[in-house]
């Protein structure tokens, strides 16, 4: 069987690899000139089943409303120019912030995330991938008693669903991660999630693409797929700016751009772009460095140690398909970093900063869209939001099972496009 995968980000490449591994002929097409060039490029680097909750948590509407009036650097920001694109999608996004729906969706992400890390470990081992992987967990720190109290309750619930969550005092935080000693007096406590991991998503993506190529997959770059040609109720070709690609099955894994491509066939996928920012700094050799990723709950910032570098990520913007790098947002991240790791800690070389932004593809309920479409030989794998790196391998396994009528390790109905028909 021949399968065309449109998109070579982390989701597309893992999908292609698992299909290839099952013995199928695979072709990957991307408009960029190499894999992992867009949203995968400089994401937060976190593989975190512990943070599987969707962005649309209960009360999110208050935060979004404030952001419309706040010209500053709110953690989640809505740009006025994006409102027309968000009208119908936004209603569903807010509806899914109701407590019962939010908790159901968070559990769907958690189940997929736990499976995903298992699959990723298998892929990395069999392909001998080097991507700066570390399994040191994550620390979620709190600066006030109220939020820490809620976190303790949340940790108990997480443990009930199989997530190892350990509540720590401020002293225990510093014992575990000495780089946080300069801010210890500001901490009420933390929750440590030892099952979380880190790694460079782009390095993983590029290394896996190279391995897949050696194993027989064909990659075509600088190809912009503008049309999926349908005859007799089936896709017969994916037409790019340079040639047409013919296959038995087609997978659209092009992030938020999947929406427009599928819309041209009358298929509605409720996914919108959510702009995320990061800033990466090199570390000075032989300096004390952060070992464990830190998520600062009050500052809405994640600080991730990578090989020879530290990356801080922590903002989200509903701005439509706009990749303009807002200097206010990046300056805010640099300021947040100094509040988590003061300049003298962590051996960070501030002048080396590399700012980045990318468009996360977010579904209206915060759960990825994986599986079949109304066209029998056309499939979708998109809408992962801030969890693309965490969920990629599990999503690829689920997609492969759906295409091949196999037995998925998670309930496919919770991720199917058809779930929105009943809403």
8 A C-beta contact, residue 202 and residue 389: no
Read off the tokens for 37: 């060039």
Task: Specify the pLDDT at position 286.
Answer: 65
Going by pLDDT thresholds of 50, 70 and 90, the confidence category of residue 329 is confident
Mean pLDDT score of the chain:
92
The Cα 162–Cα 170 span in angstroms is: 25
The upper half-sphere exposure of residue 289, i.e. CA atoms within 13 Å in the direction of its Cβ, equals: 18
- Domains, the chain, ordered by start: 2-137+195-422 (3.50.50.60)
Read off the tokens for 266: 């009358």
Task: Specify the pLDDT at position 299.
Answer: 76
Task: Specify the pLDDT at position 400.
Answer: 97
- pLDDT per residue as tens digits for the range 143-190: 999 989 988 888 888 888 889 999 999 999 999 999 999 999 999 999
SS3 91: helix
- Closest by Cα among 292, 300, 295, 280 to 350: 280
Beta-sheet strands, E only, within 246-293: 249-252, 271-283
Q: Which residue has the tokens 């890390």?
A: 117
- Closest by Cα among 210, 211, 246, 213 to 228: 246
Going by pLDDT thresholds of 50, 70 and 90, the confidence category of residue 414 is very high
The Cα 287–Cα 284 span in angstroms is: 6
- The pLDDT of 44-50, averaged and rounded, is 95
- pLDDT per residue as tens digits for the range 182-227: 999 999 999 999 999 999 999 999 999 999 999 999 999 999 999 9
Please state, for a pLDDT cut of 70, what percent of the chain lies above it: 95
The Cα 382–Cα 395 span in angstroms is: 9
SS3 418: helix
- The pLDDT of 33-53, averaged and rounded, is 94
SS3 181: helix
- pLDDT per residue as tens digits for the range 59-96: 877 777 766 666 555 667 777 676 777 888 989 999 99
pLDDT at 347 over 80: no
The Cα 247–Cα 26 span in angstroms is: 9
SS3 360: strand
Question: Against a cut of 0.85, is the pTM above it?
Answer: yes
- Closest by Cα among 72, 90, 32 to 326: 72
The Cα 96–Cα 101 span in angstroms is: 5
Lowest mean pLDDT among 8-17, 160-169, 334-343: 334-343
Read off the tokens for 234: 């089936």
Task: Specify the pLDDT at position 80.
Answer: 66
344 versus 147: the higher-pLDDT residue is 147
- pLDDT per residue as tens digits for the range 363-406: 999 999 999 999 999 999 999 999 999 999 999 999 999 999 88
């Amino acid at each position: 069987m021949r399968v065309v995968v449109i998109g070579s980000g982390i989701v597309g490449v893992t999908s292609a690899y698992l299909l290839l591994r099952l013995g199928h002929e695979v072709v990957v097409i991307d408009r960029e000139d190499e894999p992992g060039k867009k949203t995968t490029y400089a994401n937060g680097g976190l593989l975190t089943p512990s943070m599987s909750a969707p962005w649309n948590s209960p009360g999110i509407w208050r935060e979004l409303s404030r952001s419309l009036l706040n010209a500053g650097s709110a953690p989640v920001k809505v740009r006025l120019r994006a409102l027309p694109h968000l009208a119908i999608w936004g209603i569903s996004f807010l509806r899914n912030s109701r407590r019962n729906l939010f908790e159901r969706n968070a559990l769907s992400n958690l189940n997929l995330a736990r499976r995903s890390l298992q699959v990723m470990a298998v892929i990395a081992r069999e392909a001998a991938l080097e991507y700066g992987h570390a399994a040191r967990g994550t620390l979620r720190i709190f600066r006030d008693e109220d939020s820490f109290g809620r976190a303790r309750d949340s940790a108990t619930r997480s443990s009930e669903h199989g997530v190892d969550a350990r509540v720590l005092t401020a002293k225990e935080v510093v014992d575990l991660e000495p780089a946080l000693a300069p801010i210890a007096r500001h901490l009420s406590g933390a929750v440590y999630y030892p099952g979380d991991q880190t790694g460079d998503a782009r390095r993983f993506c590029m290394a896996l693409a190279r391995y897949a190529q050696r194993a027989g997959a064909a990659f075509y770059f600088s190809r912009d797929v503008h049309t999926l040609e349908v005859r007799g109720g089936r896709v017969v070709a994916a037409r790019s700016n340079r040639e047409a690609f013919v296959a038995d099955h087609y997978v659209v894994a092009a992030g938020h751009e999947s929406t427009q491509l599928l819309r041209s066939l009358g298929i509605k996928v409720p996914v919108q772009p959510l702009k995320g920012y990061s800033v990466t700094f090199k570390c000075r050799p032989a300096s004390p460095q952060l070992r464990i990723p830190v998520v600062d709950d009050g500052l809405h910032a994640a600080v991730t140690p990578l090989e020879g570098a530290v990356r801080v990520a922590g903002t989200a913007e509903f701005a439509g398909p706009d990749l303009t790098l807002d200097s206010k947002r990046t300056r805010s991240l640099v300021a947040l970093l100094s509040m988590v790791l003061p300049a003298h800690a962590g051996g960070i070389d501030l002048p080396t900063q590399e700012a980045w932004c990318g468009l996360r593809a977010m579904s209206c309920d915060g759960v990825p869209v994986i599986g079949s479409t109304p066209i029998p030989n056309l499939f979708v794998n998109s809408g992962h939001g801030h969890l693309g790196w965490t969920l990629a391998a599990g999503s690829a396994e689920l997609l492969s099972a759906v295409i091949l009528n196999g037995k998925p390790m998670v309930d496919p109905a919770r991720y199917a496009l058809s779930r929105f028909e009943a809403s």
